[in-house]
Amino acid sequence: AFFLRVLLLLSPTFPGNVSGELLVDIGSGPTLHQVMSGCEVFNKVLLTDFLEVNRQELRSWLQDEGGCSLDWTPFLQHVCKLEGRHRIQDTQPSAWTEKAAKLRQVIMDIVPIDVNHPQPLALDVLPSAGADCLVSSYCLESVSPDLAAFTRALGHIGRLLWPGGHLLLIGTLGMSYYIGGPGLKIPTIPVNEAQVCASLKESGYTLIRLEVYTWPQDMKLFDDASGVFFVKAMKE
């Protein structure tokens, strides 16, 4: 239920003029929901993460050999519902099955990334022109030790975009920790709206859209976040 509600925030991530050849997901983790709509408007999707265990989980789903530890069916179904896709006849493939097949088709690779490094990806991963769009969900504030590092990470990943390319960023507001497992409390850098906007400007982005969602009390189960933000920005 928690992740399905998160999907409600992710559903408008690819509006209007956000489309193109290559979408790069920054800090995918072991998850796929953040690119389920993106596979409809980009010809190629590149998944990235710092941890090999997360990359292996993504490969397990991509290979479709039953080794994935999480069933993504309800997430695919929910995204299809948000997109207005409906099953026409019982004899035809369902929308979510078609979406899963399309997502597997467009994922070009799953590679290591380090957003705290000036060159986050290996040099031969992207075309020389860069990506058309970056999407990143709940990553930068979780891997940055302070606000300055958060700002630097925005600048580092911006080097992967061509000028005029889009950044679609989802993150938490006011979160100082999250629970990564039993007895595991992981510190994060709490940011507010003004700090996010200032960091974007300093890192060479033009802010196009900012939306803030207040976190209901019943969703404060794994962290102390006050809410989440959604940013649509363009590289200058």
Average pLDDT over residues 58-81: 87
CATH number, domain 2-235, options 3.40.50.740, 3.90.198.10, 3.40.50.970, 3.40.50.150: 3.40.50.150
Average model confidence (pLDDT) across the chain: 88
DSSP 64-93: TSS--SS--HHHHHHHHHHTT-----TTSP
Is the pLDDT reported for residue 11 higher than 80? no
CA distance 220 to 222: 6
The pLDDT assigned to 15 comes to: 58
> What's the predicted TM-score (pTM) here?
0.90
pLDDT band of residue 12 (cuts 50, 70, 90) is very low
Tell me: pLDDT of 59 over 90: yes
pLDDT band at 92 (very low <50, low <70, confident <90, very high): very low
Residue type, 169: L
What average pLDDT does the segment 79-83 reach? 82
Question: Is the pLDDT higher at 94 or at 195?
Answer: 195
CA distance between the termini of the chain: 38
Structure confidence by residue, pLDDT tens digits, 147-160: 999 999 999 999 99
CA-to-CA dists, residue 80 to 7, 19, 20, angstroms: 11, 18, 21
Please compute the mean of the pLDDT values over residues 46-73 and round it to a whole number.
92
Mean pLDDT of 1-25: 64
- Tens of pLDDT, residue by residue over 106-133, are 999 999 999 999 999 999 999 988 999 9
